Amino acid sequence: MSDYGTWRSSISDDDWALYAAAGYGSRTQFGQRPCLLVIDVTNGFLGPRGKPAAELAADYPTACGQAGWDAVPAIADLVAAFREIERPIIYTAGISDAPRAHAGRWMDKHPRTLEQREGAHDVVDELRPRADDFVLRKSKPSAFFGTPLLPLLIDLGVDTIVTTGCTTSGCVRAAVVDSFSYGFKNFIAEEAVFDRSHAAHVANLFDIDQKYGDVVDNRTLLASLQGITPADRDV
């Protein structure tokens, strides 16, 4: 199993004390109209099972490896819980058609971004979306950029976003910051987000938790969902 859930002990006592003294890190009250956001948990971002990202880089340039597969069961638990209470589940994934037109500045920072195998932008089978889920295609880090996510959330009456997926330092962070900026309550499932770099994962979880949302474990999130009933979905 991944040790990502122990990220808090990787942050120095001095850093915890500094942020606490400055007043950061207050907790957020969970809302009554949550949605689940599953960011880029695709074949390309995971790669084949059982291998770390370093071993996959030659053939799968965006893969996070085993860290991603370790997060899949936690994501699946949240998917099942949201389906039980009939709250919306929104998936994001890359764009497979006309990829060059969408690459933009990725060609400067990650020229291999277009080296994707067939099916790389498909959500992994273990988390396959249902017909009543939403799947948004995006070409930039934030799930809000160039997608109908914001009007969809407004239309659904969402007040709280539970974020899962990858990468913690990239698309997860970008979506959480935009969500915070638009006024949504943010909860990040610590066992259900992942990155190809443990250092980047830890640093960004700490920063997100102190400024933009609450990083909490699945048990806490599942308990919060117990107070939500299917009737609450109606605006």
Domains of the chain: 31-228 (3.40.50.850)
Considering the chain, what is the average pLDDT of its residues? 92
What average pLDDT score do residues 212-232 get? 90
- State yes or no: pLDDT of 235 exceeds 60: no
- State yes or no: pLDDT of 232 exceeds 70: no
What share of the chain has pLDDT > 90, as a percent?
78
Name 204's Cβ contacts closer than 8 Å, sequence gap at least 6. 168, 169, 172, 173, 195
- State yes or no: pLDDT of 53 exceeds 60: yes
User: How high is the pLDDT of residue 145?
Assistant: 96
User: How high is the pLDDT of residue 116?
Assistant: 82
Higher pLDDT, 120 or 203: 203
Tell which residue, 1, 51, 5, has the closest CA to residue 202: 5
User: How high is the pLDDT of residue 106?
Assistant: 72
What confidence tens digit (pLDDT) does each residue in 122-179 have?
999 999 999 999 999 999 999 999 999 999 999 999 999 999 999 999 999 999 999 9
What confidence tens digit (pLDDT) does each residue in 20-31 have?
999 999 999 999
Long-range contacts of 22-30 (CB under 8 A, 24+ apart): 24/210, 24/211, 25/209, 25/210, 27/214, 28/185, 28/186, 28/187, 28/213, 28/214, 29/185, 30/160, 30/185, 30/187, 30/224, 30/227
- State yes or no: pLDDT of 115 exceeds 70: yes
User: How high is the pLDDT of residue 182?
Assistant: 98
Instruction: Give the catalytic positions in this structure.
Output: 171
- State yes or no: pLDDT of 210 exceeds 50: yes
Range with the poorest average pLDDT among 43-57, 111-125, 182-196: 111-125
What confidence tens digit (pLDDT) does each residue in 187-204 have?
999 999 999 999 999 999
